[in-house]
Amino acid sequence: MSTVREIMTGHAECIGENETLEAAARKMVQLDVGSLPICGQDQRLKGMLTDRDIVAKCVALGNDPRDTLARDLAQGKPVVVGPDDSVDKAIALMEEHMIRRLPVVEEHRLVGFLSQADIALCYTKDKVGELVEIISHHR
Residue-wise pLDDT tens digits, 110-129: 899 998 888 888 766 666 56
Q: Which residues pair with 49 in a beta bridge?
A: 36
Check residue 65 and give its pLDDT.
97
* Predicted confidence (pLDDT) at residue 135 exceeds the cutoff of 70: no
Which of 34, 35, 41, 33 has the alpha carbon at shortest distance from 16?
Answer: 41
Cβ-contact 18, 70 below 8 angstroms: yes
C-alpha atoms less than 13 angstroms from C-alpha of 64 in its C-beta half-sphere: 2
Check residue 41 and give its pLDDT.
87
* Predicted confidence (pLDDT) at residue 19 exceeds the cutoff of 80: yes
Check residue 43 and give its pLDDT.
79
Check residue 8 and give its pLDDT.
93
Cβ-contact 17, 43 below 8 angstroms: no
Read off the pLDDT of each residue in 4-23 and give the average, rounded to a whole number: 92
Largest separation between any pair of C-alpha atoms in the chain? 48
Which of 134, 97, 102, 129 has the alpha carbon at shortest distance from 115?
Answer: 102
pTM: 0.79
Residue 82 CA to residue 98 CA, distance in Å, equals 18
Check residue 101 and give its pLDDT.
87
Read off the pLDDT of each residue in 60-76 and give the average, rounded to a whole number: 93
Over residues 77-87, the pLDDT tens digits come to 889 999 999 99
* Predicted confidence (pLDDT) at residue 139 exceeds the cutoff of 50: no
DSSP 65-84: TTT-BGGGG--SPPP-B-TT
Check residue 83 and give its pLDDT.
96
Query: Binning pLDDT at 50, 70 and 90, where does residue 104 land?
Result: very high
Domains located in the chain, CATH noted? 4-137 (3.10.580.10)
Q: Which long-range contacts (CB under 8 A, 24 or more apart) does 114-120 make?
A: 114/4, 114/7, 114/8, 114/9, 114/81, 114/87, 114/90, 115/9, 118/7, 118/8, 118/9, 119/7, 119/87, 119/90, 119/91
Check residue 1 and give its pLDDT.
61
